[in-house]
């Protein structure tokens, strides 16, 4: 009996399959199954809606809010850093200008000090040169005086020797008078 029931069930199942194949349409378009398909469609849509609204969308909203907050904080931090950089640049430029002014003052003071030292050294050198010039002029005067005497002596000796070489006799007085007359012009 069990085999007869199985055979009958198999025949019934085979007959339903042959009828669907014989109708030649798709089972989804069969009007008799539409209420069942609409029910499961609504259940699926409600389930997807609940999953999205309760789980996925809050997580996505939280991530978007976190990103928005991070971007806002980063922009605020960037603006603050930009402000600090501008202030630092202004302080740097002010310090640079002050340093240049101080350097100019130091250079001017050093230049004035060097010029004063140079003026002192020049005055001292001029005084030394004047002293040496005076000493040199005195020595030149002495040398001139000595040279005139030396020239007179040499001229007397030369005249005496010339007169002797020419065979004459000359006394010292006449030679001195002749050399003195000749030296005067």
Per-residue pLDDT of the chain (185 residues; tens, 9 = 90+): 555 655 555 555 555 555 544 455 788 788 888 999 999 999 999 999 999 999 999 999 999 999 999 999 999 999 999 999 999 999 999 999 999 999 999 999 999 999 999 999 999 999 999 999 999 999 998 888 888 788 888 887 888 788 888 777 777 788 788 778 877 76
Residue 69 lies in a domain: yes
Look up residue 185 and give its two tokens.
């012009």
Residue 20 lies in a domain: no
Q: Is 168 left (phi over 0), alpha (psi -120 to 50) or beta?
A: beta
State residue 153's pLDDT score: 82
Residue 5 lies in a domain: no
Residue 103 lies in a domain: yes
Look up residue 172 and give its two tokens.
């010292």
Residue 9 lies in a domain: no
Residue 15 lies in a domain: no
Look up residue 34 and give its two tokens.
């539409």
State residue 53's pLDDT score: 94
Number of domains in the chain: 1
Q: Return d(Cα 122, Cα 164) in angstroms, integer.
A: 60
Q: Which stretches within the chain are classed as H helix?
A: 2-23, 34-51, 57-165, 172-184
Q: What does the longest C-alpha to C-alpha distance in the chain come to?
A: 201
* Domain ranges, residue 178: 37-184
Look up residue 74 and give its two tokens.
């980063």
Q: What is the pTM of this model?
A: 0.40
Q: Return d(Cα 183, Cα 185) in angstroms, integer.
A: 5
Half-sphere exposure of 59 (CA within 13 A, CB side): 5
State residue 29's pLDDT score: 86
Residue 32 lies in a domain: no
State residue 8's pLDDT score: 52
Residue 59 lies in a domain: yes
State residue 4's pLDDT score: 60
State residue 117's pLDDT score: 93
Half-sphere exposure of 168 (CA within 13 A, CB side): 11
Q: Let me know the angle formed at the C-alpha of 49 by 47 and 53, rounded to the nearest 5 degrees.
A: 120
Residues 6+ apart with CB under 8 A from 37: 28
């Amino acid at each position: 009996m069990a085999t007869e029931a199985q055979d009958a069930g198999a025949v019934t199942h085979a007959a339903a399959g042959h009828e669907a194949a014989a109708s030649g349409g798709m089972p989804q378009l069969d009007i008799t199954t539409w209420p069942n398909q609409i029910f499961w469609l609504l259940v699926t849509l409600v389930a997807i809606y609940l999953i999205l609204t309760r789980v996925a969308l809050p997580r996505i909203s939280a991530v978007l809010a976190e990103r928005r907050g991070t971007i806002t904080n980063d922009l605020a931090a960037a603006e603050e850093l930009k402000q600090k950089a501008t202030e630092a640049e202004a302080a740097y430029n002010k310090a640079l200008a002050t340093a240049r002014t101080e350097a100019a003052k130091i250079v001017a003071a050093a230049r004035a000090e060097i010029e004063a030292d140079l003026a002192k050294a020049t005055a001292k050198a001029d005084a030394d040169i004047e002293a040496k010039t005076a000493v040199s002029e005195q020595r030149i005067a002495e040398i001139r005086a000595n040279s005139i005497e030396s020239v007179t002596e040499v001229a007397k000796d030369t005249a005496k020797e010339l007169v002797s070489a020419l065979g004459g006799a000359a006394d010292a007085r006449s030679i001195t008078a002749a050399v003195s007359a000749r030296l005067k012009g």
